[in-house]
Amino acid sequence: MSDADAPKPANPAELRARAAVLDAADPLAAYTAHFVPGDDLVAYLDGNSLGRPVASVPTALDDFVRTQWAGRLIRGWDELWLTRPAELGDRIGAACLGAASGQTIVADSTSVLIFKLLRAAIATQQTVDLDRDELVILRDEFPTDRFIIERLADDHGLTVRWVDAPLDAGITPELAAQVVGPRTIAALFSGVAYRSAWWADMPAVTATVQAAGALVIWDCSHAVGSVPLEFDAWGVDYAVGCSYKYLNGGPGAPAWAYVAARHHDTLRNPIPGWLGAAAPFSMTEGYTPAPGIGSLVSGTPPILTMVALGEMLSLIEVATIAAIREKSIALACYAIELVDTLIPAATVSTPREAARRGSHLTIDHPNSAVAVERLWAQGIIPDFRHPSGVRIGLSPLSTSFAEVERGIRALADALS
Ligand SMILES: Cc1ncc(COP(=O)(O)O)c(C=O)c1O
């Protein structure tokens, strides 16, 4: 490429003007009006922590209370609610996970589901091979995942094999190959890393773990609703994820779990509750699990906190995850250009290669903590991650290019 062909360095005025052009050309632009406006909101850059409420949620909640809860009372369980965790799971599976029906369920929190699946993996693997006594995880994995693995290893006399990946990346097939082997029970990895946004080569890592005879559990909290997933095609064993991030289920919304159909017969729920039993109302002695993914249900499902999730899924089903991903890439490329231009002292600690990146960015700067606190008071909301990271979450359906420009310009001021 000659110098004349090289891309011209961006300048702040051109970058600012470009936001309007990008918004005008954005096929998903109209979706930004489908969210409840915040009172003091100037720019929301934290959709990867807590997604905004869909505009139809207040009506849907009101309708749920009046028509379903008050209207049907206890009859609601038989008529509507007992099947809802699996119905919503199927919708997440079809819209976001590449999962055929009957393999995904909405339940519990992500932490509790990670515990249940890891415990189930230990039980399944040790039934066939008692020499398997290791659990694999990244040293910089999200705290809940590490805590649960350490507790389970402690309780069951197992060893944790820690994987060290660069902080601005995540798990790779090569790193996985170095630690999995004949002693591995299971490996727990993030599909998209919570800090760096590294989108793992999930099919290749899955194949590497499985080639060692181990099971893979993917934490897809930051991947679901932001990148297209193909669990069935990739041969994933187990996966879990939050629904309050890019699925906008609201604070404390229940999580989801995927268990491939081939594992259903051996799936051993460590909390065998009555509503995951084959005949919940027969009140018989002894536990016979419900068939399929339903056996992962423990106690009464939190139906009320599934309402907002259903509203967001309706938007994703129409927008499609492919179009969401395309906008996510465009938003992130624009955001990186803004950071490079306006905050040259910051380090982009997220892969610059779009194919390896989810939908958030982390930039490191020594003044991050103070800057984020100041921005929150101004209605500009990224988040801070210890020790020096500002995370910028780009939720494609609710975020405009102008919002990204406003937010990063304010961040540049606050950091300086
Ligand atoms: C990657 C990851 N895993 C697990 C969790 C924990 O989810 P929960 O609070 O639903 O247990 C989070 C929460 O943000 C997360 O980001």
Q: Cα(314)–Cα(332) distance, rounded to whole angstroms?
A: 24
Q: Cα(203)–Cα(334) distance, rounded to whole angstroms?
A: 28
Q: Which of 294, 316, 338 is the last residue of a domain?
A: 316
327 and 210 in a single domain? The answer is: no
Backbone angles phi, psi at 16, to 5 degrees: -65, -45
Domain harbouring 147, CATH code: 3.40.640.10
Q: Say whether 383 is catalytic.
A: no
Q: Is the pLDDT of residue 92 over 70?
A: yes
Residue 278 lies in a domain: yes
In this prediction, residue 7 carries a pLDDT of: 52
240 and 310 in a single domain? The answer is: yes
Q: Is 315 helix (H, G, I), strand (E, B) or coil?
A: helix
Number of domains in the chain: 2
Among 106, 188, 194, 385, which residue has the most ligand 1 atoms within 8 Å of its CB, making it the best to mutate?
194
Q: Which of 284, 300, 316 is the last residue of a domain?
A: 316
Q: What is the DSSP letter of 35?
A: B
Q: Which of 287, 316, 345 is the last residue of a domain?
A: 316
34 and 131 in a single domain? The answer is: no
Atom of ligand 1 nearest to the CA of 111: 11
Give the count of beta carbons closer than 10 Å to the beta carbon of residue 395.
28
Dihedral-angle region of residue 340 (phi above 0 means left; psi in -120 to 50 means alpha; beta otherwise): alpha
283 and 159 in a single domain? The answer is: yes
396 and 301 in a single domain? The answer is: no
In this prediction, residue 150 carries a pLDDT of: 98
Atom of ligand 1 nearest to the CA of 49: 14
- How confident is the prediction for the chain on average, in pLDDT? 96
Q: Cα(237)–Cα(251) distance, rounded to whole angstroms?
A: 28
pLDDT, tens only, 252-287: 999 999 999 999 999 999 999 999 999 999 998 999
Residue 97 lies in a domain: yes
Residue 2 pLDDT level (bands cut at 50, 70, 90):
very low
262 and 134 in a single domain? The answer is: yes
pLDDT, tens only, 12-31: 999 999 999 999 999 999 99
- The alpha helices in 138-188, defined as continuous H runs, are 143-156, 173-179
Q: Is the pLDDT of residue 243 over 70?
A: yes
pLDDT, tens only, 315-369: 999 999 999 999 999 999 999 999 999 999 999 999 999 999 999 999 999 999 9
Atom of ligand 1 nearest to the CA of 112: 11
- Which residue out of 35, 142, 231, 246 is catalytically annotated? 142
404 vs 39, more confident? 404
pLDDT, tens only, 104-148: 999 999 999 999 999 999 999 999 998 999 999 999 999 999 999
243 and 352 in a single domain? The answer is: no
Domain harbouring 404, CATH code: 3.90.1150.10
Two tokens, residue 388: 């020096």
Q: Which of 104, 108, 331 minimizes the C-alpha distance to 226?
A: 331
* Cα–ligand 1 centroid distance for 288 (angstroms): 30
113 and 204 in a single domain? The answer is: yes
In this prediction, residue 3 carries a pLDDT of: 43
In this prediction, residue 4 carries a pLDDT of: 47
Element (H, E) at 188: strand 184-190
- Residue 110 beta carbon below 6 angstroms from any ligand 1 atom: yes
Cβ atoms of 172 and 205 closer than 8 Å = yes
Q: Cα(388)–Cα(244) distance, rounded to whole angstroms?
A: 25
In this prediction, residue 6 carries a pLDDT of: 46
Q: Cα(253)–Cα(242) distance, rounded to whole angstroms?
A: 8
- Residue 219 beta carbon below 6 angstroms from any ligand 1 atom: yes
Residue 90 lies in a domain: yes
Q: Cα(168)–Cα(95) distance, rounded to whole angstroms?
A: 29
- What average pLDDT does this structure show over 50-70? 98
In this prediction, residue 10 carries a pLDDT of: 76
Two tokens, residue 234: 């990739």
Q: Cα(270)–Cα(163) distance, rounded to whole angstroms?
A: 27
Q: Is 164 helix (H, G, I), strand (E, B) or coil?
A: coil
Residue for token pair 């249900």: 297
Domain that holds residue 337: 3-54+320-415
Cβ atoms of 384 and 372 closer than 8 Å = yes
Q: Is 342 helix (H, G, I), strand (E, B) or coil?
A: helix
Give the count of beta carbons closer than 10 Å to the beta carbon of residue 345.
12
pLDDT, tens only, 163-214: 999 999 999 999 999 999 999 999 999 999 999 999 999 999 999 999 999 9
- Residue 350 beta carbon below 6 angstroms from any ligand 1 atom: no
In this prediction, residue 1 carries a pLDDT of: 39
Residue 383 lies in a domain: yes
184 and 277 in a single domain? The answer is: yes
259 and 401 in a single domain? The answer is: no
Atom 14 of ligand 1, nearest CA residue: 49
346 and 244 in a single domain? The answer is: no
Q: What percent of the chain has pLDDT over 90?
A: 95
Listed in sequence order, the residues at least 6 apart from 148 whose beta carbon sits closer than 8 Å to its beta carbon are 111, 114, 115, 118
Residue for token pair 């989108």: 199
Atom 15 of ligand 1, nearest CA residue: 221
- Which residue out of 35, 64, 115, 244 is catalytically annotated? 244
In this prediction, residue 21 carries a pLDDT of: 98
- Residue 243 beta carbon below 6 angstroms from any ligand 1 atom: no
